[in-house]
Amino acid sequence: MADYPTSLPIEEPRTLFKAPLSMPSPGASGVTGFWRTMKPVINEDKCIKCILCWLYCPEDTIIRRDDDSVYVDYEYCKGCGICADVCPVNAIEMVREVV
């Protein structure tokens, strides 16, 4: 009877070519700020630092400072307006984008 090993060592697969792997990086579909027709403008005086806009932003383009005040990354903001909708004190206003 042949002497089979009970467990096979697992080897790293040898690849003959560099596998085409996509790596996560910002702007995978271009500078999406160009999609915007309305842009959010934050009124810093009204802001109560509740960071609800930061929480609900689908794109993560509302950026939180250390003291929890926020600003907008206009390069990638798509202008959906969720931040203005969830703001409890209406400190974010959607204004028409002027190119």
Partner 1 sequence: MMAVRLKELPRRRYGQPGNAACPGCPETMGLRYLKMALGDDAVLVVPASCISVIQGIYPRSGINFPILNTVFAAAASTAAGMSAGFRLRGMDNVKVVVYAGDGGTADIGLQAISGAAERNDDILYICVDNEAYMNTGIQRSSATPYGAWTTTTVTGKTEQKKNVPLILISHGVPYVATASVGYPLDFIEKVRKASQIKGFKYIHLLAPCPIGWRFDPSLTAKMAQLAVKTGFFPLYEYYKGKLTISPPSRPFRDPKRRTPLIEYLKLQGRYRHILNDPNALKRIEEYIDEQWRWLNLLESTNGH
Point out which residues bind partner 1 (CB under 8 A): 10, 20, 22-32, 35-36, 50-52, 55-61, 63-64, 68, 73, 75-76, 78-82, 84-86, 94
The CB-of-16 to partner 1 minimum distance in angstroms stands at 19
The structure tokens 């004190």 sit at 89
Q: Which two tokens stand for residue 46?
A: 């009204």
The CA R_g of the chain, rounded to the nearest whole Å, is 24
Pick between residue 31 and residue 46 the one whose CB is nearest to partner 1: 31
34 by DSSP, 3-state: which?
A: helix
Pick between residue 1 and residue 23 the one whose CB is nearest to partner 1: 23
